[in-house]
Amino acid sequence: MGKSLVSCFFETMYILSVNKCERTVSFVCYNIVCTVVHFVVNDNSGAEVMPSTPTLTEAISVGSQIFGVTVLGTNIFIICSGTTDVFVYDSMTFMLQNTIPVQASDPRGLVSCSRYNCLYISSIGPSESNNFLIHRVELAAGYALMRWKTDKNPYDLSVNSICNVLVACCGASKLQEFSTFGILIREIVLQGTCRRQCMLCS
């Protein structure tokens, strides 16, 4: 059970809570489902280590492939195939709270920014449409939405230390940096060709 659970983890993990008394940390990570697992702090060294058999405590099944998960405040946000909206779950109860109508056609990446209290979603649109977009959703303003274009196939997203959004454009082998309002700050042309989905690490 533990081995199969560990093997299904993707790179993206978010800390939900830390309990110093019980020496546990709650994480959310995803592949086809969204799961929370616990790991125990090593008593001898004080280092945080993952046990060989992590404990699965909760799971969210959305019935389709998940392309992005992010945690902001007390909410878990999820984008998945077959929908243009963002699903919002409570991070304590794991119950669906509502959906945000973003209209992101074929979404591919999701990240949140605590400073601006917003979400960024990348989408590639229908095949051959060349409609590659970043969608910015303001969470404190009635889901105010703005969009801007990126280079080809914007898959993964990240937010840097100055709260600009980084976009991995796999189809152009390029990394683009935008301000929170969509102004292109700079771009880096990557060596070689990205033949598979690009991943960014925060």
Whether 105 is in a domain gets the answer no
Task: Supply the pLDDT for residue 164.
Answer: 96
Number of domains the chain contains? 1
Whether 21 is in a domain gets the answer yes
Task: Supply the pLDDT for residue 191.
Answer: 72
pLDDT, mean of residues 60-73: 82
Higher per-residue confidence, 105 vs 153: 105
Whether 182 is in a domain gets the answer no
Residue that the structure tokens 């409570």 belong to: 90
Task: Supply the pLDDT for residue 25.
Answer: 54
pLDDT, mean of residues 83-111: 89
| Residue 84 and residue 104 in contact, taking contact as beta carbons nearer than 8 Å | yes
The whole-angstrom separation of Cα 71 and Cα 91 is 8
Whether 76 is in a domain gets the answer no
Whether 99 is in a domain gets the answer no
* HEC per residue, the chain: CHHHHHHCCCCCEEEEEEECCCCEEEEEEECCEEEEEEEEECCCCCCECCCCCCEEEEEEECCCCEEEEEEECCEEEEEECCCCCEEEEECCCCCEEEEECCCCCCEEEEEEECCCCEEEEEECCCCCCCCCEEEEEECCCCCEEEEEECCCCEEEEEECCCCCEEEEEHHHCEEEEECCCCCEEEEEECCCCCCCCCCCCC
Task: Supply the pLDDT for residue 118.
Answer: 96
Whether 47 is in a domain gets the answer yes
Task: Supply the pLDDT for residue 37.
Answer: 45
Whether 161 is in a domain gets the answer no
Boundaries of domain holding 34:
1-61
For residue range 126-163, list pLDDT tens digits in order: 766 678 899 999 998 789 999 999 987 788 899 999 99
Percentage of residues in the chain having pLDDT higher than 70 = 64
For residue range 178-194, list pLDDT tens digits in order: 999 999 999 888 776 55
Q: Report whether pLDDT(31) > 50.
A: yes
When mean pLDDT is compared across 8-12, 19-23, 83-87, 177-181, the lowest value belongs to 8-12
Contacts of 156 (CB under 8 A, 6+ apart): 108, 109, 122, 167, 168, 197, 198, 199, 200
Whether 25 is in a domain gets the answer yes
Whole-number average pLDDT of the chain = 75
